[in-house]
Structure 1
Amino acid sequence: MSDTAILINTGVAVLAVVLLIVRFKLNPVVALVLGSAYLGLSTGLGVDGTVEAITGGFGDIMAEVGLLIAFGVLTGAILQEIGAIERLVATLLRVFGPKRMPYAMSVTIATALQSIYLDVLLVISAPLARNLAPRLGRLGTARMATALAIGLECGIVLMVPGVGTLALAGLLGVPLGRMLLFGLLLVVPTVIIAVAIMSFLFRKGWWDPAKDEGRIDAAGPAGDDATPGNPGPRGDAEPSPSAPDGASEQGRVAATATGTVVDPRPVRDPHHVKLIVLFAPLLGALLLIAAGAVLDITGFQNPVVDFLSQPVVALLAGMVGTSLVGRYTAGRRRVERAIATGFRESGQILILTAVGGSLAATIDKAGLGDILGHYFTAQTAAPLLMVWVIAAVLHIAVGSVTISAITAAGILAPIAPVIGLDPVLIALAAGAGSLFAVHVTSNTFWLLQSLMGQTTRGTLKSCSVGVSVASVVAILLILPLSLVV
């Protein structure tokens, strides 16, 4: 088959996936499988070759990141159940003060809290941010809403153990330690710069509280897309009753859909432990993964360190450690409830991620990598810009951060070995592009509107524009890396 025919059929397959999801409201998993099947059959792989590519890609990606995603989601569910998030926010406020809170909260959400399922993390943190907003002045709602949006969305696709990041790393064969180091190097300045730019715009009169702020609803209209990046219509979700754990010296805090209620009476838990102890297992796991990447670069080898720094071993240890801490502080039943919730939430993430691998494997078998390899070289910015643009366009159409990132990376993953471009750069570029234009098709958009007390106009500014600014900042930071990596 000619190169032109392969390019055309690939474009038709991607467009068909978008139309099936957007126009016909088909489940993204089914749409991706149908797109993969069409591409395989239309490019001459045959029935057997097409089925082999779909099932092989599915199995390969599950073997690569299936357990990692499961362990990450379970760890996050336990941390949410035992009230660690509320306590962390209270600590950040005490350490950084109200004025620096947008930066502190957005960076923390984008890095340390990415094991928390997105809509759970949003429902927990938004009421707390809403409560803090008045202390920042008339622009408090705008700044806190923007900080939440940027931190939440950037972390999903740029920082380990964000579910999108794990999927991209597995899809492109990027060692998780390397993904962690480069993601951390990128996400921190991206978040800080984007929040600073939006704060500057707000101070210049771009935010009108009379028109951009409104009442707080219990739930906003929910998007149709139920994916890891946009977990579906769960705007009426409420955080589980974890306030007593997070309330020690700060008093009893209850995060609800209508705000944060603070009981000033101190509550002493007989099993109260320091905040660092609650997060120590997860932070220890991430440090082990990062240490393995650093030692691999330096050439140091030690059997014990090599074993413990394996991502699946490190995250398993982190999950077990978090479970033990949770049982001590909250009891066995609450930890078991959190684990059951985590298993339910991880199912759709695992299936979607694996099906993204099926599409990428089919594209690879079709020979797209060899074709595109003739047009690009690793010394040019064109491949990374193309990844960013494809992911951005897909996100505008589909409204899912994770689907757009995985699809864009899958399309161009085959060219990485052909032109010598480091796969970690493709992963980061796909993640950055998928952040562009979070809008009304996203469940995150409506949750931020309702929980932060914004009008639709205000949410378009704080969420859509704010996250888009972060997307552009991220690709501008990634491009120079392609010259040295």
Structure 2
Amino acid sequence: MIVLHTTIAIVLVILLIIRFKVDPIISLVLASLYLGLASGIGFGKAVDAITGGFGDIMAKIGLLIGFGVLMGALLHAMGAFKTMVEALVRLVPPGRLPYALAMALATIFPSIYVDVQVVLAAPVARSSAPFVGTRGLPFLAGALGTGIFCGYVFVIPGLAAISVAGLLKVPLGTYLLYGIVIGPLTALVTVWLFGRLLAMGWWKAERDEEQSEALVESEQADEQVPAERRPSLLLSLLPIVVPLLMIAFGAFAELLDFSNDLIAFIGDANVALFLGLVGAYVMARRFIGTAATNDAFADGLHTTGEILLVTGIGGSLGAVIKATGLAKVLGGLFSVNHSAPIVLSILLAWVIAAVLHLAIGSVSVAAITAAGIVAPILGSIQVAPVVVGLAIASGSLFALQVNSNFFWMFKSLLGLSTQGSLKTMTTVTTIASIVSLPLTMAAAVIA
């Protein structure tokens, strides 16, 4: 019955969000309450699990999410992301631009805030498309979507990456060591495969491209921060690159056994991202002034609240599942023999995340919810938690499509039809999800 009630709770989340258009926050709380009561753990324990799960995940990653979103808002306000992408266009040969764009989005500045990324990168992708060739627009659009979401789910400080690592209690440094390989490699292979697909006649410009008012407005807004008032490329990169280097240094120090209290402090993700936030704040005060900086900070705080609630309640659902004793039930599925659990666990995590994404339409909510579902069984299976996290990240990429707000923003900003968006955004996320699955299985060998 526990498995049945858990299935009903998950279906309830999906139906509330998709069929009845209920906000994910309310849907996740209602599902958590249903599961807690229907499984028989009682009113008090159900509430304790919900509040305790929320508190636990907030203690682990609440500050990281807040610092990351605020930093992204400040960098956006001062035009720093635009400076980075324009430099990329100048430095990279046109034929290699899709690969460079995907790699930069997945590594140098992974997606803390995906809406900001697409708003900033889309106009540059459109303006540089003619230099890439007749299929330049779809090629760059696909590369843009690939890079944004590979960074988002695999590379710290991508929001989904931080959330999954936190829910599964995977050290961020450990997740980064694996994700910084799997994410960019997935992006490169996906862009190459998508390029081959375009070469075979996948794209029909007359049906797949169109103009829109949102596109015109975004191109006008993109000029609001003049080039002379933006920070230099080096300054633009510092708030993002320095925290990544600090986290990586701490991870390698621990791995090679030369860490100490000072190194652990420097490599702590909270400290690293706070330093990045302070750097972005100082830069914003210098380049756009106090008033504009405060406005950007306020916008970031508004966004942070919703993200924190969704993330925390994802932790609540996981806590309720744990309280029901589902771990023992599902753990029995992996006790048939010694070798099967690794592959089955990876596939289970991938399928759960993929199905949730197909139904819900949000990469982050799918990843968070899947991590909450899988977390309670980690102690019962023979696979490293980081590999399970990577499998969830891989599955959560699967087939971003029309039930995603990002899909429609992507469509408008890049000047694509709905069909064209399906041929780019949906296609590349499907390819990336499938490509990253065997890479995750390979990681299980060394994890």
Q: TM-score of the superposition, structure 2-length normalised? A: 0.95
TM-aligned CA deviation for residue 110 of structure 1:
2.1
What residue ranges of structure 2 are gaps of 5+ in the alignment?
Answer: none
User: Using the alignment, how far apart are the partners of 2:164 and 2:377 within structure 1?
Assistant: 15
Residue 312 of structure 1 pairs with residue 266 of structure 2? no
Q: Check conservation: 1:163, 1:349, Cα contact below 8 A.
A: no
Q: 1:441 to 1:122 in 2, by over 3 A?
A: same
Is 2:303 aligned against 1:341? Answer: no
Identify the residue that residue 476 of structure 1 maps to in structure 2. Answer: 438
- Give the superposition deviation at 1:59: 0.5
- 1:243 corresponds in structure 2 to 225
1:96-151 CA distance string (max 9 Å, x none): 12211111111211223235421122112111111111111110111011011111
Task: Answer yes or no: is 1:185 the counterpart of 2:181.
Answer: yes
Higher mean C-alpha deviation, range 109-118 or range 434-443: 109-118
Q: What does residue 110 of structure 1 align with? A: 106
Q: Name which of 311, 333, 358 aligns with 1:353.
A: 311
Equivalent residues of 1:145, 1:462 under 8 A apart: yes
Match 1:301 to one of 256, 259, 270: 259
What letter is aligned with 2:442?
P
Count of aligned positions:
443
Moved more, 420-429 or 168-177: 420-429
Q: Given that residues 66 and 350 in structure 1 are in contact (C-alpha distance below 8 angstroms), is that contact kept between their aligned partners in structure 2?
A: yes
Counterpart amino acid of 1:295? A
Structure 1 residue 10: Cα displacement: 0.7
CA shift for structure 1 position 321 = 1.6
Distance of 1:175 and 1:349 partners within structure 2: 21
Aligned pair in 2 of structure 1 residues 238, 413: CA closer, same or farther (>3 Å)? farther
Query: Distance in 2 between the 1:51 and 1:123 partners?
Result: 40
Give the conservation status (yes or no) of the 8 Å contact 1:425–1:478: yes
- Matched residue type, 2:246: L
Alpha-carbon distance in 2 for matches of 1:38, 1:100: 51
For 1:439, what is the secondary structure of its paired residue?
Answer: coil
Q: Does the C-alpha gap of structure 1 residues 273 and 16 become closer, same or farther in structure 2, counting only changes over 3 Å? A: closer
Structure 1 residues 447 and 481, CA, compared in 2 at 3 Å: closer, same or farther? same
1:266-287 deviations in Å (ceiling 9; x for gaps): xxx5xx7531122213211111
Residue pair 1:120, 1:239 contacting (<8 A) in 2 also? no
User: How do 1:273-284 residues align onto structure 2 when only pairs under 5 Å count?
Assistant: 274-284=232-242
Aligned to 1:364: 322
Q: Which residue of 2 aligns with 1:92?
A: 88
What is the CA–CA distance in structure 1 between the aligned matches of 2:234 and 2:74, rounded to whole Å?
15
Deviations for 1:422-462, whole angstroms, at most 9, x for unmatched residues? 11111111111111111111112112222212121111111
In structure 2, do the counterparts of structure 1 residues 143 and 115 end up closer, same or farther at CA, with 3 Å as the change threshold?
A: closer
CA contact (8 A) 1:399 1:438 kept: yes
Between stretches 444-453 and 133-142, larger displacement belongs to: 444-453
Q: Which runs of 4+ in 1 moved over 6 A?
A: 235-238
**Structure 2: how far apart are the matches of 1:330 and 1:218?**
25
Name the CA distance, whole Å, in 1 between partners of 2:240 and 2:202: 39
1:64 aligns with 2:46: no
| Counterpart-to-counterpart distance in 1, 2:232 and 2:368 | 38
- Are residues 1:20 and 2:9 paired? no
Q: Which moved more, 1:235-244 or 1:63-72?
A: 235-244
State the partner residue of 2:6.
10
Tell me how far apart the structure 1 counterparts of residues 385 and 292 of structure 2 sit (CA, whole Å): 40
Aligned equivalents of 1:240, 1:50: Cα separation in 2: 48
Equivalent of 1:424 in 355, 363, 386: 386
Q: Which amino acid aligns with 1:73?
A: V
Residues 70 and 301, structure 2, Cα contact 8 Å, conserved in 1? yes
Distance 2:434 2:196 in 1: 17
Q: Distance in 1 between matches of 2:348 and 2:177?
A: 24
Give the C-alpha shift of residue 329 in structure 1: 2.8
C-alpha deviations, 1:403-429, integer Å up to 9, x for none?
111111211112212224211111111
SS in structure 2 at match of 1:438: coil
Contact 2:360–2:403 (Cα < 8 Å) also in 1: yes
C-alpha distance in 2, partners of 1:219/1:400? 23
The 5 A counterparts of 1:83-162 are 83-114=79-110, 116-162=112-158
Match for residue 410 of structure 1 among 372, 378, 390: 372
Cα displacement (A) at 1:483: 2.2
Q: Secondary structure at the match of 2:309?
A: helix
* Match for residue 458 of structure 1 among 395, 420, 423: 420
What is the aligned counterpart of 1:33 among 29, 34, 51? 29
Q: Which residue of 2 aligns with 1:290?
A: 248
Cα offset, 1:47, TM superposition: 0.8
1:71, 1:241 → 2: CA distance?
A: 27
Q: Which residue of 2 aligns with 1:327?
A: 285
SS of the equivalent of 1:215 reads: coil
TM-score by length of 1: 0.88
In the superposition, relative to structure 1, how do residues 94 and 219 fare at CA in structure 2: closer, same or farther (>3 Å)? closer
Q: Deviations over 1:311-353 (max 9, x none)?
A: 1111111111221122223322222222111111111000000
Q: Aligned letter for 2:444?
A: S
SS of the counterpart of 1:414?
A: helix
Contact 2:105 2:111 in 1 (8 A): no
C-alpha change, 1:240 and 1:333, in structure 2 (3 Å) is farther
What is the percent sequence identity of the aligned residues? 42
